[in-house]
């Protein structure tokens, strides 16, 4: 009696199981379309300055018993599952807003290396996923090793000043003189033109002239403040030239006389006043 009931019960269970399997196979597409989770729309990409917080919103409806996870797309690191953070990154958190059906991935104190795309996944049989990307803005930074230092050339030599800056978006570079005077540039080797500033990584001064001596600024800027600059001193060496106001001075006895001599040179010369080609009167 006892063993008979047992076998009857087992038979029932088996047929139920078969029935259940048949039903799910046959009705798979129908039941999926009723309650399967779906994304409400694309994940908005965000552009965030370094150091701030980036938030990606993943909105899922009809989640049911399924779970939402976040992954870093490039290396497939699992960051979170449901409302639990899996990765050992203290800057990462997730939050779930039940009313808005939103799963937020938050990354605080954003770093350069956080840039990239993130995947919001639902663990359905055929996995559903959406990508959202973070662009990390970085203020400009001048790379000293690839930027000119102070330089001295002979008058008439060509000189190229270089300035390299990193940042995101890529910084623009402009050159100007520190004293606000216009830049003197040469086009096609002979024609000189003057401009307030010039764009580009290189400032080329063809056949440098003494008037071009001075402090130059390379200024790097992008949309992320602050802009930065580097000061580069340009020295242009040229031999002394001497100009005397008057050749001959006539003066009365016992009066003071002043003689002026204008000297132009770089670097600064040693100047002497010599009497009758032998007696040094003043040396400076
Ligand atoms: C987000 O950025 C990625 C990669 O640049 C792009 O493929 C995708 O279309 C963007 N998504 C949206 C919603 O703009
Ligand atoms: C993400 O959701 C929050 C709160 O719902 C909202 O304030 C924010 O603007 C959303 N961000 C994007 C990029 O859609
Ligand atoms: C300076 O540059 C110009 C143009 O590139 C060139 O024609 C000239 O030979 C150069 N002069 C010197 C001294 O290198």
User: Which 3-state string (H, E, C) describes 144-213?
Assistant: HHHCCCCEEEECCCCEEEECCEEEECCCEEEEEECCCCCEEEEECCCEEEEECCEECCEEEECCCCHHHC
Residues with Cβ < 8 Å from 229, sequence gap 6 or more?
142, 217, 218, 219, 220
Q: Is there an atom of ligand 1 within 6 Å of 200 CB?
A: no
Among protein residues, the one whose CA lies closest to atom 4 of ligand 2: 57
Q: Ligand 3, from 155, 158, 205: best to mutate by most atoms within 8 Å of Cβ? A: 158
Element (H, E) at 3: helix 2-35
Averaged confidence pLDDT in the chain: 86
Q: What's the average model confidence in pLDDT over 65-84?
A: 92
Q: Is there an atom of ligand 1 within 6 Å of 45 CB?
A: yes
Q: How far is 118 from 72, CA to CA, in rounded Å? A: 5
Task: For the beta carbon of residue 167, count every other beta carbon within 10 angstroms.
Answer: 21
Q: How far is 169 from 137, CA to CA, in rounded Å? A: 7
Element (H, E) at 34: helix 2-35
Distance 158 CA to ligand 3 centre (A): 6
What band does 247 get if pLDDT is binned at 50, 70 and 90? confident
Q: Quote the Cα angle for 183-187-189, to 5°.
A: 115
Distance 56 CA to ligand 1 centre (A): 12
Q: Say if domain 38-138 classifies as CATH 2.60.40.10.
A: yes
Phi, then psi, of 146 in degrees rounded to 5:
-110, 15
Q: What pLDDT does 11 receive? A: 35
Q: What is the 8-class DSSP label of residue 113?
A: G
Nearest-atom number in ligand 3 for the CA of 156 is 13
Nearest-atom number in ligand 2 for the CA of 56 is 13
Phi, then psi, of 34 in degrees rounded to 5:
-80, -50
Ligand 3 residue neighbourhood (C-beta within 6 Å): 157-158, 189, 206
C-alpha neighbours within 13 Å on the C-beta side of residue 174: 11
Q: What pLDDT does 35 receive? A: 65
Nearest-atom number in ligand 1 for the CA of 42 is 13
Q: What's the average model confidence in pLDDT over 184-191?
A: 80
| Nearest residue to 114 (alpha-carbon basis) of 46, 171, 58 | 46
Q: What's the average model confidence in pLDDT over 149-172?
A: 96
- The CATH homologous superfamily to which domain 141-239 belongs is Immunoglobulins (2.60.40.10)
Ligand in closest contact with the CA of 187? 3
Q: Is there an atom of ligand 1 within 6 Å of 160 CB?
A: no
Residue 19 has pLDDT above 70, yes or no: no
Q: What pLDDT does 13 receive? A: 35
Q: Is there an atom of ligand 1 within 6 Å of 133 CB?
A: yes
Ligand in closest contact with the CA of 133? 1
Q: What's the average model confidence in pLDDT over 252-263?
A: 86
Cα Rg of the chain (Å, integer): 39
Every domain of the chain with CATH number 2.60.40.10 lies at: 38-138, 141-239
Q: How far is CA 150 from CA 140, 161, 197, 231, in A?
A: 21, 9, 19, 8
Distance 160 CA to ligand 3 centre (A): 11
| Bridge partners, 177 (sequence order) | 216
Residue 21 has pLDDT above 80, yes or no: no
Buried b (16+ CB within 10 A) or exposed e, 16-40: eeeeeeeeeeeeeeeeeeeebbebe
Nearest-atom number in ligand 1 for the CA of 43 is 13
pTM above 0.75, yes or no: no
pLDDT top residue among 1 and 229: 229
Q: Is there an atom of ligand 1 within 6 Å of 42 CB?
A: yes
| Helix and strand totals (H; E) in the chain | 1, 23
Nearest-atom number in ligand 2 for the CA of 57 is 1
Q: What pLDDT does 192 receive? A: 86
Distance 69 CA to ligand 1 centre (A): 19
Residue 215 has pLDDT above 50, yes or no: yes
Q: What's the average model confidence in pLDDT over 26-32?
A: 43
Residue 258 has pLDDT above 90, yes or no: no
Q: What pLDDT does 155 receive? A: 95
Residues with Cβ < 8 Å from 252, sequence gap 6 or more?
none
For 96-127, what is each residue's pLDDT tens digit?
988 889 999 999 999 999 999 999 999 888 88
% of the chain at pLDDT higher than 70: 87
Q: What pLDDT does 4 receive? A: 37
Q: What is the 8-class DSSP label of residue 7?
A: H
Q: What's the average model confidence in pLDDT over 152-165?
A: 96
Q: What pLDDT does 189 receive? A: 65
Q: Contact, 231 vs 144, CB < 8 A? A: no
Distance 213 CA to ligand 3 centre (A): 19
Cα 143 versus chain centre, distance = 12
42-46, 83-87, 166-170, 195-199: which range is least confident on average? 83-87
Q: How far is 38 from 61, CA to CA, in rounded Å? A: 6
Q: How far is 57 from 99, CA to CA, in rounded Å? A: 13
């Amino acid at each position: 009696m006892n063993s008979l009931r047992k076998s009857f019960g087992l038979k029932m269970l088996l047929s139920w199981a078969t029935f259940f399997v048949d039903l799910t196979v046959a009705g798979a597409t129908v039941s999926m379309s009723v309650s399967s989770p779906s994304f409400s729309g694309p994940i908005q990409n965000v552009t965030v300055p370094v150091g701030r917080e980036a938030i990606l919103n993943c909105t899922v409806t009809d989640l049911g018993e399924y779970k939402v996870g976040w992954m870093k797309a490039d290396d497939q690191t699992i960051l979170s599952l449901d409302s639990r953070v899996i990765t050992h990154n203290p800057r990462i958190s997730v939050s779930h807003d039940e009313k808005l059906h939103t799963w937020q991935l938050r990354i605080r104190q954003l770093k350069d290396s956080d840039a990239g795309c993130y995947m919001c996944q639902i663990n359905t049989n055929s996995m559903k996923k959406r990508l959202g990307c973070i662009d990390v803005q970085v203020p400009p930074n001048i790379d000293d090793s690839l930027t000119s230092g102070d330089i001295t050339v002979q008058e008439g030599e060509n000189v190229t000043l270089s300035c390299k800056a990193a940042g995101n978006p890529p910084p623009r570079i402009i050159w100007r003189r520190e004293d606000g005077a216009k830049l003197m540039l040469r086009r096609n080797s002979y024609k000189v033109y003057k401009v307030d500033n010039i764009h580009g990584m290189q400032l080329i001064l063809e056949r440098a002239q003494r008037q071009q001596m001075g402090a130059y600024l390379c200024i790097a800027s992008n949309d992320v403040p602050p802009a930065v600059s580097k000061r580069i001193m340009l020295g242009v060496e040229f031999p002394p030239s001497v100009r005397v106001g008057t050749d001959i001075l006539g003066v009365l006895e016992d009066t003071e006389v002043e003689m002026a001599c204008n000297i132009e040179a770089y670097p600064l010369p040693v100047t002497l006043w010599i009497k009758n080609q032998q007696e040094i009167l003043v040396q400076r």
